Amino acid sequence: MSILNEFSLVGKTALVTGCKRGIGKAMAIGLAEAGADIVGVSATLERKGSEIEKEILALGRKFKAYTCDFSERKALYRFIQEVKSDFPVIDILVNNAGTILRAPAVEHTDAYWDKVIEVNQNAQFILSREIGKDMVSRGNGKIVFTASLLTFQGGITVPGYAASKGA
């Protein structure tokens, strides 16, 4: 028996936010390689035929795509209702979605700040709370958050991003 069997995710469903590219895409692929079926969401993810869908299906796993702009609170709640209806059991939630808006700190507008905090912090909390309720009632589940080195380094043009990823 391989040690990898100890880490098998066969029969598990993972919801990965920001899965269209970058770290989210890599995490979705890694979870699928371990056996999980993937529920993917991104602000610009195609409902059918996306690159990530093709890669997950090629691994022999299931994939369902959703589009949601996490800066829109009502859209987030609609997405949560839809995904919970479609997938009553979500075993793993990967909070990876994020946005970054650049401007020198003294020119960083309230609108920039609010949008970045809404996507990177508020939406992640709301998703964790709403998906987490079911995990708690079942007695199992995993929630993963991605952060950023900018949390530690800061950045003169990314105050909202650095603050939100470090919260």
What span, in angstroms and rounded, lies between the C-alpha atoms of 71 and 67?
12
> Does the annotation count 66 as an active-site position?
no
The C-alpha atoms of residue 64 and residue 58 are separated, in whole angstroms, by 14
Give the β-pairing of 142-145 and 92-95: parallel
Cβ of 162: how many Cβ atoms within 10 Å?
22
DSSP reduced 3-state for 40: strand
Element (H, E) at 15: strand 13-17
Q: Which of 120, 146, 134, 98 is nearest to 13 (CA)?
A: 134
Active site residues: 161
